[in-house]
Every structure is written in C-alpha cells, then in structure tokens.
Structure 1
Amino acid sequence: MMTPASMRKVRISLLTENLAQAGLELARTGSFAPHPAKEKDEDFPETPLTEYLSTYESARTRFHKICQFLQFTPDLHEIPAQVPRLAELEALDRWLEEIWQHCSACAENLRKGEEELREVHQLQDLLRGYRHLDIDLGLLQSDFRFLHVRLGTVPQQNLKRLGEAVALACFALTRFAVRKERAHVIVAGLKEHADQLETVLKAADFRGLTLPEEFSDHPAEVERSLEERERRILQQRQHLHKEIRQRREEHGKRLQEAALKLYAASGLAHFGAAPGSRGGLALVTGWVPESELEALKQRLHDNLDSPVMIESRAPTLEETPEVPSCLRHGRWLQPFAALVRNYGIPRYREIDPTWFLTISFGIMFGMMFGDVGHGALFVLTGFLIRRRYPQVQVLLTYAGIFSMLFGLLYGSVFGYEHLIPALWISPLEDPVRMLEVAFAWGVLFIIAGTLMRIRNDLVEGLWQQALFDSHGLAGLLLYLALLAAGWYWVEKGTVTTAHQLALLLPLLAMLGWKWRQMQAPPGEKALVVLIEGFETFMNYISNSLSFLRVAAFGLNHVALALAVFALANMMHTTGHWITVILGNLFIVILEGAIVVIQVLRLEYYEGFSRFFRGDGRPFEPMQLSLETRGGESPLR
C-alpha cells in the first residue's frame, strides 16, 4: 500500500447507559481511534458516566497495588462479553479496599522490617572495627570522675607524633583499627589534663567518634545481641512472606474475576475526551479504516441492547491534519517502516515512503557493497540471530541479498575479482562508468522524490505549491532543463537559446510565486527571492553530485580488498590466510556499517527532505488495557 489506509470519520449516537458496553465492543474491534468532535462541546457538553469512571479508576488503582504486592499476574486472554454494572464496580471497589487495608498493613510491617534489618547490618559493619577490643564498650561513653577518655580517628601519618604528644600530657594512646588511611584510637588519662589534651588532638586532626546506644557491652556480647536481633527480623519477614502467599492463594480466584471485570470496563476509560452527552443520549466520534467500518457497525448492532445510530463520512480537506495514518506493513517491511518512523509519520493521503525506502535502500547498498561472499556473511549472520533479533535479521538478509546480486554483476567474491566473470562491470576497470551510473541513479532518485512531492501537494489542495515551489513542477522543469543544458554543454561546448529559455521560464515562474508569497519591503523581497533562486540552483546540483558517493564507496570496497591482499601477500601461507580472513571481517563490519549510514543519509537528506513532511498522526485504536496513562500495569 503506497498511502495510508482510507479512513472514515465515524459519529456514533447511543444511549448513555450503553456507552460502557460500546467501549468494550469498540476496543475489541481494534479499529476505532477516538477523536473529540467540534460539535461535542456545543450539542453534547456533559461528560458521561463520570461516577462509573471514577469508581473504575479507584478500583483499578487498588487492584494494581494489590497485584503488585501479592505478585499476582491475572490471565487476560479471555475477554468478557459484558461490562460490569456500576453496582458491581462499587462492590468490587469496596472489596478491593478491604483487601488493600490488610495488604498495606503487611506492606508497612515489611518496610519497617527492612529498615530495621538495614540498621542492624550497619551496626554489624560498624562493630567490626571494635571487635578486637577486650573492654566493655559502654565504658568508652561513660563520664568518669577522675578519668578522661576520648574515642576517635587520626590520619595514619600523624599517629606516631600524636602518641608522643599525648604521653607528654600524661595520657595513653591505643590504636585498635585502621580504616581508609585513618587509625581508630582510644586516648585515656587524668581528667585534670583534659584541656591540654584537646589542644594536642586538634593539632593532629583528631575526629571524635560517638558509639551507638546498642554498643553498651563487650563487643562479643554486642555482636551476639545484633545476630539475635537479625534472626528475629528474618523470621518475621519469613512469616510475612508466608502470609502474602496465603493471601494470594486465598484471593487469587476472586482477583482473577476482578481483573476480567476491570478489563472489560477499561474500554470506557480509553475513550479519553471523545464522548459527550446530553441527558440520556451520548455521542462518540473517531476514525475507522474504511475497510473495517462494516464489521464495526455489525458488532455494535449485535452487542448493544438498544438501537445505535452510526454515521460515517470521508474526511474533508480541512480535516486532513487531524486524520490518523493507518499504516500496515508485512513482516519484511517492518524494519524499513521503523526507519521511516525515525524520520516521521506520513500524513493522511501522503505517500508512505516505506516502499520507496525499501527498494532504493537495497539498490544503493548493493552498489556500494557488491560482493557475493560478504553478502552471504550478512545473510548467515541474519539467520543466526533470527530468533533474538527478528527485525535485524530481515535487514541483514535483505542487504545481503542485494550485496550478492551486485557482487555477481561486479564479479567479486570476498574481494577476489577474477574467481567469477563480471556479469556487468568490474568497478576498478571502468570507474568513470561507475560514476556515470551513480549520477544517473541520483537523477532518477531526485526526480522520483520531486514527483511524489507534487502529488502530495495536489491531494492536499496545495496546487500553487505543487506548480511553482522549488520542489514542485517549476523546480522539476528547472532541474530537467539544467540537466539537458549541462549534457549539451559537455557534448557540444555551448548552450542553445532553447536551453536558456528552458532554464529561464521555470525559474521566473518560481521566483514570481515566491515574490507574491513573501510579505516584506520590495528591496528585502528582491534580495531574499534572488538568494532562494540561487539556492535552488545549487541544491539541485549538490544533491545530484551527492550520489557520486554511491560509486565512490563501490570503488572503495574493491580498494580495501586489494589492500588486504597486498598485506596478505607479504606473509607465508598461515599468515596469508589469517590476514585475508581478518581483513574480510574488517571490511564486512566496519565498511558495512559505514555504507548503511551513507545510504540512510541519502534516503533522509536527499530523498525524504524533498517530499516527506513526516508530521502525521499515528493511528492508535482503542484497546482493552489495565494500564494507566503513565504506563503502570498490574501485569508483570
């Protein structure tokens, strides 16, 4: 499909009481993208089923928390046939509230236990520094009548001088541990010399330590106390986890039922701002692919209790920017569609460049990297990673096939140019012809891009732009005249009057249109228009010459192989083949990556920038889901 699927603007009128069921049915079709209508705010100003929605959201939030806490994964493969009534949702919300109160209390106990366990581990880590002390640690924190005790750390290099200095002040220093280049010490002496000691400690960069309240006994006793505390916490945690398992088993069946009810009700929540109501009548508007409209109508008529009126029409030209683009690609096109999405989403009615990218990517990659052996390595690598990276496998296989095809045309196998005859041309034997082919390819590429731009402008009603823009018909005629004049000048050494007129007429039409479009003083308009006209000339020339890199990389590929063989021929048999193998791997990995980058550069900058706006809206149909807008889900 060269363009996004044809869409219809759908207007669904139904009873407000059936809106939730309609949400379920529309979500099950997977083909309805809700979009607020302008008339909704005027004729249907009310927001329908607000109580239902608020109850659903409350229940869904609690359900998510419970599933997360109990590690419960609901099975949502079976889609319910009916949405729950408001009374059912309210009863479900009350039950979930009751369950969550128990779960939250258990969760709070778990949190407190984890915090206490972290505290115990920190104390155990701190105690390691005091484990070798044969002293009641509580004494180090006591205030004695005649004895002054200080506990702290000093830099390792200051330890010896500090010991000598405190000895002069009638104090004793004991080192009991070393951590991070700081010695842990105890300084003890008569209290009457405490002031003198403080001056010495300050000069030695002494940093006092305060022991936790738990350190009030011999280190061995403190360690046993902490181990006992740790065992108690772990037992409590084990008991709480057992309680969680019991609750999961006890409530699992009912939680599964709750999941299905909420799953069915989620369709209404995913309407967003699309529905409006007045009294007992509701209105929903959105977009549906034309090919799926009849199936959607039939489903609503079959599954709603009361009559429903469904109107549809084609989108107007003014609505085009609002219409989502429904793009459907087969497996082999998915990787290329992803490359297109990296640039943007096609507008509705705009040409989807996926096919253009797919074809031109293969041709340019093959021209730049033509080698039967190297292409086979790409295909083999794709086969080996097909399960883990399926989309990469498609790209590698596709690139490898075109590399092999051009390898046959070039007569190249793992860099060897004479193993098989060239079906078309050997690059190094006729580099000028390679450049001519690359230039001709670039011309066709630019013409195709410009024609697609003209077509896109015409379907959007921008006929002046399609005729007179630099990327429109005037620009295309200017480019063709430029090519004709250039070719005639190369062949004959002169340019005829016909060529000059062919250049002048589209240029004047283009400049005249730009003059009319621009709002500025005459002098400024003249300057800008002349600059843009010159820029158009230069862009067409530079864009065309840019495609010479296709030939340049094709020649470079052969030259790299020759360099590898030149190195290999300097060595004996074993070294020769090791060099050939490693050289070919180097070419495949490094040059292969560079060629991919160059091809994408030509696609994006010389192709997409010419015709592809990429500012479309993706088609995002309603789907049943318990996810919130932030992406949270009870599904793990």
Structure 2
Amino acid sequence: MPWPEAMTPVRMRRVALVVPQAALRDALVRIAREGCVELDRAEEAAPGPAAVRLQRLRGRGGADGPRADTTAVLAAVAPDLDLLEQRRGAGLLAGEAQLEERADGAVRRGEVTALAGWCPAGEVARVAGRLAAAGGALLTLPTPRGTDPPTLLRPRGPVSFTPLVTTYGTPAYGDLDLSWPAGLAYLAMFGIMFGDVGHGALLLLGALALRLGRPRRLARWTRLWPFMAGAGLAAMLAGAAYGEFFGPTGLLPVLWLSPLDSPARLLVAAVLFGAGLLALAHAAGAVNRVREAGWGVGLYAASGCAGLLFYVGLATAAAGLLTHRPAVAVTGAALAGAGLALVAYGLFRDTAGGGAGLAETAVRLFDVVVRTGTNTLSFARLAAFGLTHAALADVVWRGTTGLAARGGAAVAGAVLVFTVGTAVSFGLEVLVAGVQALRLEFYEVFSRLFETEGRPFRPWHVPPAEPADRDTKVVPCSPG
C-alpha cells in the first residue's frame, strides 16, 4: 500500500442496496452477517412488531430482565414473533427489531426496494457478490454534496495506536490518519519522563502478562498492551541514556546525561523536542486544513499554512539569536511576521468587519501568539517530571544503601525499603508520566491537528443464530 494511502482513513463509497421486496429480509440478513455496511436509518420510526414484543418481554423481567445485556442474533428465516415472546427468545427478538429498524429506512417503488448507506471501497465487490445470491445488487453512488463520509481509521494488525486518536475524537474523513506518529510521540514523551531501565523492564513484563491475559480480571484491558510495551521500551531506552537502573545505582554508565547532574541540559532538550514536535504538528495540521476546506481556508488558518510559517519563522529567529547569527534571526523574524499577517487576515475575514472586527482580530491574534509560546514552554514538564522520577529513585537508593551498610538485621530493612520504595515511586510516576504525556498530546499536538470532528463508521453487524451458519466460514470485514 502506498504511504499516502496508508496515512489516510479507509476510503468509503456511498452505496445503494437494490433488491426485490420479497427478498429484502434475506438481503438484510446477509448485510448484517457481513458487518461491512452502515445503512441509513429512518428518523423517529415507530417501533416494529419485534421491538414491541421485546419491550414487553423485558418489562416482565425474568431471565431477560430490563437490565439484561441481550446479544442480538438473526435467523435465516423469519421466525414466529409470538412464539419467540412466549419462549423468551430475547436475542432473536433483538435481532429482528434491528432488522425492522433498517427496513423502515427503505425506499419502495413497485416491486423494488432500495436502501442507501456507506461501505469501505475495498469491500464493495465482495459484499455485492454475497447479495447477488439473494437477487440483490450493491451499487455505488456519488457522494452527496455537503456530506462527509464516515471515518474508519485503518487497522494496523495486532499493534494499533488508533485508540489514542479516537479517545480525543473522531478525525474528519479528509484528515490524515496519524495514529502511528501520535503513538510514537506519546511513547517518546513517556520515556523522557520515566527514564529508567529497571522500571521500564517492569512495564515490559506487565505488558507481556497483559498480552497473555494475566491476571484474568484485567482481560478487558488486553488491547492496551502495545501502549504498555512501547512505554516500557521507551523508558528503558531513556534510562540507558540517563544511566538509571532502579535509580542512580551505578550499574549502568551514563550515555548522554544524568538528570540530577545536568537538569539545565535536560530542560533545554525537552523544550527543543517539544518545538520540533509542534512544528511537525503544524505541518500536518496545514495538510488537514487544505484537505478539509481547500487552500482558501488552509492558507490563512492559525493551524494551517500561515500558522506553520509563523512558527517556523519564530523558531528560526530564536535559533539565530541563541547562536549569535543576525542574518538568521532577521530572516526568521521576517517569516514570522509574514505568517502572523496571514493569520490576522484569516481571522479578520471570519468577522463581521469594521472596528469590532479589528478588535476581535487583535484579541484572537494576541491569543495565538501567547499560546504559541506557552505551548512550546509547556514541554519543559518533560524535564521536570523526568527530574522528579530520578530524584525519587535516588532517595530510595540512598535509603537502601544507608541501611545495607550497617549490616546484620539492617540488610532485611534495606530490602524492605528498596521493595516498598520502588513500588510506591513506580506506581506514582507511571501514573504521572502517563497522564502528562496524554495531556501534552491532546492539548499541544492534537489541538493543531484536528479542528473538525468527523463521524465514526458504524457498520451494522448481527451474527447468525443457526449453529450450522455459525460453522460456515464467513470472511470478516477487513477494510484496511
């Protein structure tokens, strides 16, 4: 797959399911089993016969009470709804209720019925082949003007960072799919704050246990194991650079710097790392603005090309001043000024004009400048929490060696201090580093990447009820 395509959500096609009225139920059952099509649903449709019976069944309580989690299933042949109600077949009734809801959105002309929806482009041919057996067809339609398709981020196999993006919100259909870059940035920030080879190894072991489903009470969190494993690996790499192994034990050489001995260097490195990350976020945000609304908006947006020019110019001017190169500083200042002028024009264009528009533009432009500086300096927290982590580990190690030096029974106390102190500092710092990295990702990075929220792709999927059908091999929907 070419990388430009891999960096975008799954391509969607507007489709129409066309089928004879007599075969509508069979076609819908096939669509439900495929789980690859999101069908349009009728607004404020009255409950159908199956939905009414399901409500009565739940209202009476019993095994399928009002709070029961009923798993919907669909029979290949239309069942007797009264018999299902008598036998408390809540699963089949729930499936029939969903089928009725989709069927209510159908358009009927004579003997032909049609439903519209969305389907991943790569799955259209396969789903159409399944529908042909029911006498139906799946036709592609032009995308309606002013309507964005639903967004489906590409699956990446067993390791996926899409939850990091979808927790913030659903990207617009035209935006870039930055799940992997965002995930790697998160892990890098976590590692800087939690740099310790020993602590990282504990995280890596925890990720392995989670991947294997141990302990079982945490099985629902299994999908988070890539984050834990990546965080552990990042912490080990940063710890090797710091020379930290359960604190400054001296067991590892310092490959780059010791946080407690060189806090200023770590602070500068954190801010520079943040500046580079924000520049990349500005560049990706500029691409998103152009893809969302064209060059007219993308050129002047604060999170678009104008904002990128302003930030790059500001960084260039700062680098020129710090390195005592006046020409570089002047060039950067000129670029920053040009970018800020474009941002001001874009802001003014969104106002009603006149004096009120100028005042509003001035206030919003001041906010853009202030936020640019504060967002960059906000990455200093990477160094601050990295220093805190190193200091806590140093306290634990000093207490351990101080007791161990006394010999005798004090050695047991030293072991206890090391175990308890490491557990407390590990638990506290892993929580702090995880939350702070997420905070930087959301507020400093994602706020520049995503401005328009999309709608998630929700395909309709109901499994078959018949055991024979369950044993039949069904190719799963794999739009990526």
Per the TM alignment, residue 364 of structure 1 is displaced from its structure 2 partner at its CA by: 0.8
* Pair 344,19 (structure 1): closer, same or farther in 2 beyond 3 Å: same
The correspondence of residues 303-382 of structure 1 with structure 2, limited to 5 A, is 303-304=134-135, 308-313=136-141, 315=143, 318-320=146-148, 323-330=149-156, 332-334=158-160, 336-382=161-207
Q: Secondary structure at the match of 2:445?
A: helix
Aligned to 2:419: 581
Q: Which amino acid aligns with 1:13?
A: V
Per the TM alignment, residue 594 of structure 1 is displaced from its structure 2 partner at its CA by: 0.7
Per the TM alignment, residue 500 of structure 1 is displaced from its structure 2 partner at its CA by: 3.7
Aligned to 1:604: 442
* Pair 70,615 (structure 1): closer, same or farther in 2 beyond 3 Å: closer
Q: Secondary structure at the match of 1:13?
A: strand
* Pair 273,345 (structure 1): closer, same or farther in 2 beyond 3 Å: farther
1:372/1:403 contact within 8 Å kept: yes
Give distance in 2, aligned partners of 1:538 and 1:66: 61
1:333/1:354 contact within 8 Å kept: no
Give distance in 2, aligned partners of 1:594 and 1:54: 51
CA offsets 1:4-31 (integer angstroms, 9 cap, x no match): 2100000122222221111111111110
Give distance in 2, aligned partners of 1:59 and 1:486: 70
Aligned to 2:462: 624
* Pair 93,472 (structure 1): closer, same or farther in 2 beyond 3 Å: closer
The correspondence of residues 436-515 of structure 1 with structure 2, limited to 5 A, is 436-492=268-324, 497-515=330-348
Aligned to 2:350: 517
Q: Secondary structure at the match of 1:469?
A: coil
| Paired positions, count | 442
Deviates more, 1:416-425 or 1:581-590: 416-425
* Pair 489,557 (structure 1): closer, same or farther in 2 beyond 3 Å: same
The correspondence of residues 96-107 of structure 1 with structure 2, limited to 5 A, is 100=86
Bigger-Rg structure (1/2): 1
Q: Secondary structure at the match of 1:286?
A: strand
Deviates more, 1:550-559 or 1:273-282: 273-282
* Pair 512,576 (structure 1): closer, same or farther in 2 beyond 3 Å: same
Aligned to 1:2: 7
1:379/1:401 contact within 8 Å kept: yes
* Pair 95,498 (structure 1): closer, same or farther in 2 beyond 3 Å: closer
Q: Which amino acid aligns with 2:118?
A: W
The correspondence of residues 214-363 of structure 1 with structure 2, limited to 5 A, is 265=96, 268-271=99-102, 274-304=105-135, 308-313=136-141, 315=143, 318-320=146-148, 323-330=149-156, 332-334=158-160, 336-363=161-188
Q: Secondary structure at the match of 1:312?
A: strand
* Pair 264,17 (structure 1): closer, same or farther in 2 beyond 3 Å: farther
Q: Secondary structure at the match of 1:287?
A: strand
Q: Which amino acid aligns with 2:132?
A: H
Per the TM alignment, residue 328 of structure 1 is displaced from its structure 2 partner at its CA by: 4.2
Per the TM alignment, residue 456 of structure 1 is displaced from its structure 2 partner at its CA by: 1.4
CA offsets 1:156-197 (integer angstroms, 9 cap, x no match): xxxxxxxxxxxxxxxxxxxxxxxxxxxxxxxxxxxxxxxxxx
Per the TM alignment, residue 282 of structure 1 is displaced from its structure 2 partner at its CA by: 1.5
Q: Which amino acid aligns with 1:319?
A: T
Q: TM-score, normalized by length of structure 1?
A: 0.63
1:324/1:616 contact within 8 Å kept: yes
* Pair 481,603 (structure 1): closer, same or farther in 2 beyond 3 Å: same
2:127/2:138 contact within 8 Å kept: no
The correspondence of residues 50-129 of structure 1 with structure 2, limited to 5 A, is 54-61=48-55, 68-69=62-63, 80=75, 82-84=76-78, 89=79, 92-95=80-83, 100=86
Q: Which amino acid aligns with 1:550?
A: L
CA offsets 1:24-65 (integer angstroms, 9 cap, x no match): 11111110101269xxx9xxxxx9xx9xx8343355556667
Give distance in 2, aligned partners of 1:330 and 1:596: 23
2:29 is the counterpart of 1:35: no
Percent identical residues? 29
Q: Gaps (5+ residues) in structure 2?
A: 1-5, 465-480
Q: Which amino acid aligns with 1:310?
A: L
2:8/2:175 contact within 8 Å kept: yes
2:17 is the counterpart of 1:23: no
Q: Which amino acid aligns with 2:197?
A: V
Per the TM alignment, residue 96 of structure 1 is displaced from its structure 2 partner at its CA by: 5.1
Give distance in 2, aligned partners of 1:18 and 1:281: 10
Aligned to 2:17: 12
Give distance in 2, aligned partners of 1:276 and 1:294: 23
RMSD: 3.3
* Pair 317,596 (structure 1): closer, same or farther in 2 beyond 3 Å: farther
1:271/1:622 contact within 8 Å kept: no
Give distance in 2, aligned partners of 1:69 and 1:532: 59
1:34/1:272 contact within 8 Å kept: no
**What is the aligned counterpart of 1:412 among 217, 239, 244?**
244
* Pair 329,488 (structure 1): closer, same or farther in 2 beyond 3 Å: same
Aligned to 1:547: 379
Per the TM alignment, residue 524 of structure 1 is displaced from its structure 2 partner at its CA by: 1.9
Q: Gaps (5+ residues) in structure 1?
A: 42-46, 101-250, 627-636
